[in-house]
Amino acid sequence: MSNELYIKRDGAIATLIFNRPEKKNSFNLAMYHHLSTLMDELEQDSSIKVLIVRGVDETAFSAGADISEFLEVRFHAEKAKEYNDIALGAIEKLYRFSKPTIALIRKLAIGGGLEFANSCDFRFASTGSKLGITAANVGIIYNLTSTKRLYNLIGPSKTKELLYTAKLISAEEGRDIGLIDYVYAGDEIEKACLDFATKIIEKSSVSNIGIKQVIQAIVDGANEEDEQIRNVILDSFSSDDYQEGIQAFLEKRKPNFS
């Protein structure tokens, strides 16, 4: 099972890889358990500055949950609640991950696959990709947490359209409605994504971690700084990164953040 989901590290960039291409990287319940564990491990790794989430090859990003096991593990309300708690708990850890995150989408991001992508800070998609939430095709109701994330990206009308019709849209249409940030040809997307990640890791991780916390607080409904956010902001003025940034500015050189 562990080979179906694994982490690859390259300096300050970590990549979470979905490795079930024969099933279009669909997730079974065991993989959601494993994702939760991996996210805990990544959160404790201070060397990571960016996390990329992707499928192992060009087959798919993820086609979502593995429907073939639903009658066993997600049938009737009690089992569905247990399944949803595990799956949504794992996705929540990705959404709340403290470092910047990028979804690299190729071919398919459907259902739970799009949930993964929407839990990242940025979404890169290759031309020819298909995106959608197909809950209405199987008679279930999309959960509120993930619906809100979709709503925050594309607004109420487009959210209703995608969910009511269960249609799949192109990467280009996704970009037009705010679901996708960047679209690249298949042979260009990996370099573009890596270049973007590199631009992030060259900046202060103190700044980027704090910025993500501030933006998340706004998304969660905050209109003013609470004590936690206030301390995050003020503590940055005592950080090594702040000292290095000021010194680099005065010396007219590029900062070398720790």
CB under 8 Å to 54, separation ≥6 — which residues? 15, 16, 17, 18, 61, 103, 104, 105, 106
What are the tens digits of pLDDT across the range 185-218? Answer: 989 999 999 999 999 999 999 999 999 999 999 9
* CA atoms within a 13 Å half-sphere pointing along the CA-CB vector of 126: 22
The answer to whether 125 and 62 have CB atoms below 8 angstroms apart is no
Predicted structure pTM score: 0.95
Residue 210 tokens read as: 């704090």
Specify the pLDDT at position 2: 61
CB under 8 Å to 248, separation ≥6 — which residues? 254, 255, 256
List, in order of start, the domains of the chain with CATH numbers. Answer: 2-201 (3.90.226.10), 205-250 (1.10.12)
In sign, the C-alpha dihedral spanning 27, 138, 94, 122 is positive
Q: Is the pLDDT of residue 8 over 50?
A: yes
Specify the pLDDT at position 171: 98
Residues, the chain: 258
Residue 231 tokens read as: 């301390």
Task: Tell me what the pLDDT averaged over the chain comes to.
Answer: 95
Q: Taking residues 238-245, what's their average pLDDT?
A: 96
| Residue 1 pLDDT class (50, 70, 90 cuts) | very low
Nearest-angstrom CA–CA distance, 68 and 71 = 7
Output the DSSP codes for the chain: -GGGEEEEEETTEEEEEE--GGGTT-B-HHHHHHHHHHHHHHHT-TT--EEEEEESSSS-SB--B-GGGHHHHS-HHHHHHHHHHHHHHHHHHHHT-SS-EEEEE-SEEETHHHHHHHTSSEEEEETT-EEE--HHHHT----HHHHHHHHHHHHHHHHHHHHHH---EEHHHHHHHTS-SEEE-TTTHHHHHHHHHHHHHTS-HHHHHHHHHHHHHHHTT-SS--HHHHHHHHHGGGSHHHHHHHHHHHTTS-----
In this structure, are strands 169-170 and 130-132 parallel, antiparallel, or unpaired?
antiparallel
Q: Is the pLDDT of residue 172 over 90?
A: yes
The answer to whether 35 and 90 have CB atoms below 8 angstroms apart is yes
Nearest-angstrom CA–CA distance, 189 and 182 = 9
The amino acid at 88: L
Specify the pLDDT at position 189: 97
Specify the pLDDT at position 218: 96
